[in-house]
Amino acid sequence: MAVMVEAPAPATAEVTDRARRERRMGLMLSAPAFVVMVFVTAYPLIYAVVLSLYNYRLTDPAGKEFVGLGNYATVLTDPVWWTDFSTTLLITVFSVAVELVLGFAFAFVMYRILRGRSLVRTAILVPYGIITVVSAYIWRFAFQLDSGFVNQWFGLGDYNFFGNRWSSLFVIVLSEIWKTTPFISLLLLAGLVQVPEELQEAARVDGATAWQRLKRVTLPNMKAAIMVALLFRTLDAWRIFDNPFIMTVGANKTETLSFLAYRQNVTLVNLGAGSAVSVLLFLTVVVIAFIFVKGFRTDLSQVRGDR
């Protein structure tokens, strides 16, 4: 049985004193990290917001001009943004959905296996240890017409995987899945380990089938772990850059939102529109995180290792 931890009683005078000291201590301990965060995160963020209000080219300083929210209107009404948005959405939905199912399967294997446990765990985790750019090259070379072996293996002849949108996206999503399923299964394994064995036993004694135990006992007790895994992976997939950059350079409508931001900011040095794209990308990330936290009704701050 889970041990129910009693919430601390409403503070009495002496506890308040102690609590206050602890809180002050906590603030002092976290202050340096907070200051660093403000410098490395808040400052660029605010600067990006300011830049996004200008029509500004790095190489045309004299042409800098305040346009208010004009860049946002331009970006949001441009087909390029929406094509990239839909590409990013497709990649995210497909890769995360497949990864969740596969990740569960791997997590169960890693959890239940008795012999050769460390070998299996290592084998499953290998792809995650490979740098994304390197894995992108591996997949590109595998599917490319001149150097690839995939066509030969599957008898596909001269089929050009990077010649159109859907087959390019297929390869990109496949490599994403290959690369990050280990990550999601690792998080799920951590959740699985936390499901109390007593609960499983009690359910078994009560006559619950394996499916019922999974649905009623395992999954509900893993909610926080699932959410963390999904949230991390969704945000990761949403910011995908390396794979399309290496495999297609954004051709055939495989450009993602991060790629668009990169192109505007770095290639075209169009800092105004580029910053607007970056800020919008940031907002979509916030919205995704918000949806996940609300949707799962899990308060992460309450998730502790006391069970």
Q: Could you give the string, one character per residue 269-298, with x where binding to another protein holds by CB under 8 A and - elsewhere?
A: xx-xx-------------------------
Tokens of 217: 């006992």
- Residue 210: CB minimum distance to another protein, A: 52
Please identify, among the stretches 57-65, 102-110, 149-157, 224-232, the one whose residues bind another protein according to the rule CB under 8 A.
Answer: 57-65
DSSP output for 75-104: HHH-HHHHHHHHHHHHHHHHHHHHHHHHHH
Which distant-in-sequence residues (6+ apart) come within 8 Å of 243 by Cβ?
132, 136, 139, 172, 175, 176
Please identify, among the stretches 13-21, 64-72, 88-96, 212-220, the one whose residues bind another protein according to the rule CB under 8 A.
Answer: 64-72
Query: Could you tell me if 135 and 179 are in contact, meaning their C-beta atoms sit under 8 angstroms apart?
Result: yes
Looking at the Cβ atoms of 12 and 147, the one nearer to another protein is 147
Using CA atoms, how far apart are residues 128 and 180, in angstroms rounded to an integer?
6
Neighbours of 71 (CB within 10 A): 26
Please identify, among the stretches 37-45, 65-73, 221-229, 297-305, the one whose residues bind another protein according to the rule CB under 8 A.
Answer: 65-73
Using CA atoms, how far apart are residues 33 and 41, in angstroms rounded to an integer?
11
Looking at the Cβ atoms of 173 and 276, the one nearer to another protein is 276
145 binds another protein (CB under 8 A): no
Tokens of 103: 């990740």
Using CA atoms, how far apart are residues 88 and 241, in angstroms rounded to an integer?
10
User: What one-character DSSP code corresponds to residue 57?
Assistant: E
Looking at the Cβ atoms of 71 and 278, the one nearer to another protein is 71
Please identify, among the stretches 31-39, 54-62, 215-223, 235-243, the one whose residues bind another protein according to the rule CB under 8 A.
Answer: 54-62
Looking at the Cβ atoms of 38 and 76, the one nearer to another protein is 76
Q: Could you give the string, one character per residue 245-274, with x where binding to another protein holds by CB under 8 A and - elsewhere?
A: ---------------x--xx-xxxxx-xx-
- Residue 173: CB minimum distance to another protein, A: 25
Using CA atoms, how far apart are residues 47 and 301, in angstroms rounded to an integer?
31
Q: Could you give the string, one character per residue 179-218, with x where binding to another protein holds by CB under 8 A and - elsewhere?
A: ----------------------------------------
Using CA atoms, how far apart are residues 136 and 7, in angstroms rounded to an integer?
49
Phi, psi torsion values for 60, nearest 5 degrees:
-135, 65
Q: Which of residues 78-107 bind another protein (CB under 8 A)?
A: 78, 80-81
Please identify, among the stretches 29-37, 71-79, 107-115, 229-237, the one whose residues bind another protein according to the rule CB under 8 A.
Answer: 71-79
63 binds another protein (CB under 8 A): yes
Query: Could you tell me if 208 and 217 are in contact, meaning their C-beta atoms sit under 8 angstroms apart?
Result: yes
70 binds another protein (CB under 8 A): yes
Tokens of 203: 């359910």
For residue 163, give the amino acid letter: G
| Residues engaged in binding another protein (CB under 8 A) | 55, 57-63, 67, 70-71, 74-75, 78, 80-81, 260, 263-264, 266-270, 272-273
